Amino acid sequence: MNESPEPKTQTMAETENYLAWRAEENDGETTYHLELNSVTIHFFKEEWQEFLDLARLLVRDADKMG
């Protein structure tokens, strides 16, 4: 039985409790993953871009609040 090779993964950012990483899947798709304590959220590329837009808005709003 031939097993598919594991995807290539790369850690993007990490803190004590959180981890963001991406995987280059065997079919050419890139997926993004957030591990937040015991919760993992998986994103396809378009979803990841929208999440980053949301995160930028959150940071901008937080900076305004001081």
Q: What is the pLDDT of residue 9?
A: 97
Per residue in 6-52, pLDDT (tens digit) is: 999 999 999 999 999 999 999 999 999 999 999 999 999 999 999 99
**pTM for the structure as a whole:** 0.84
Is the CB of residue 41 less than 8 Å from the CB of residue 34?
yes
Q: Is the pLDDT of residue 2 over 70?
A: no
- CA 25, 33, 20: angle at the middle one, nearest 5? 120
CB atoms within 10 A of CB 48: 19
Q: What is the pLDDT of residue 1?
A: 54
